[in-house]
Amino acid sequence: MNCHTAVKGESPRLKVVRDSYESGQPIEWARIHKVPDYAHFNHSRHIRAQIDCKSCHGPIEEMGVVSQFKPLTMGWCLDCHRNPEALIIGARPISGVFTGKLHAVKDLLDSSYIFTPIAAQVGKSTPITVPQFGSYDSDIPPLTVAGIPHPKKAGIGPENCSSCHY
C-alpha cells in the first residue's frame, strides 16, 4: 500500500488499490508520471536521500485526482540536483520517509519532531523508513575514498549521464 496507507487510504477511489493489496493481484495502471524511454528513474535513491514525495509529485494528499505536477524533464532534474536546498522538500511524516533512530509511533506523529535529512550527514547512518518501505542500513559515501575525491558531494545529486541514462 506504500503511499496510500497515509494518503487518502480510505478513499472510495482507492478501493481497487486496497483490493489488489489484499488479493495480491496486480493493477493495470494508468501512468501519470512518465520519464522518456531513454531515461531511468529510481525512487529508492531519492527515498534514501530523505526527499519528500511532494518535491516531484506535488501535494498528492490535496489532489482530488492525481495529475503530473512537475515537468520531469532533464533540465528540471538537473536544476534540482544543482540547487537542492532551493527545490527539495525534506521528508514529512505523511510521506512515510523517516531517518534516524527508531522512535515510538507517537514520537513520529508528534508535530514537534524534527527530521534530519541523511544528505546532511556524512558517515554511518541508519535510515528508517516507515511504514511499508521497510528498514535498511546505508553508508553515506565519504567525501574521499582512498584519498580520491568522491564524485558526488553529500546532498548534491549526480550530474553524470549514466545516473539516468543506462
What are the pLDDT tens digits along the chain (166 aa)?
666 666 676 788 888 888 998 999 998 888 888 888 899 888 888 887 778 889 999 998 888 888 999 999 999 999 988 888 888 888 777 776 654 443 333 444 444 444 444 444 344 444 444 434 444 444 444 445 555 554 455 567 888 888 888 7
Q: Is residue 150 part of a domain?
A: no
Whether residue 148 lies inside any domain: the answer is no
DSSP letter (8 states) at residue 142: P
71/116 Cα distance (integer angstroms): 28
Q: Determine whether 66 is exposed, middle or buried from the number of CB atoms within 10 Å of its CB (0-12, 13-18, 19+).
A: middle
Separation of alpha carbons 88 and 104, rounded Å: 27
Within a domain: residue 69?
Answer: yes
Among residues 95, 43, 48, the alpha carbon closest in space to that of 72 is found at 43
**Inside any domain, residue 73:** yes
CA–CA distance, 58 with 60 (Å, rounded to integer): 6
Please indicate, yes or no, if residue 110 is contained in any of the structural domains: yes
In terms of DSSP bridges, do strands 123-125 and 148-149 run parallel, antiparallel, or are they unpaired? Answer: unpaired
Q: Which residues form the domain of 133?
A: 32-140
68: CB partners within 8 A, 6+ apart: 32, 33, 34
Split into its structural domains, the chain has a count of 1
Beta bridge partners of 139: 124
**Does any domain span residue 2?**
no
Asked whether residue 1 is assigned to any structural domain, the reply reads no
In a domain, 17, yes or no: no
Residues recorded for the chain: 166
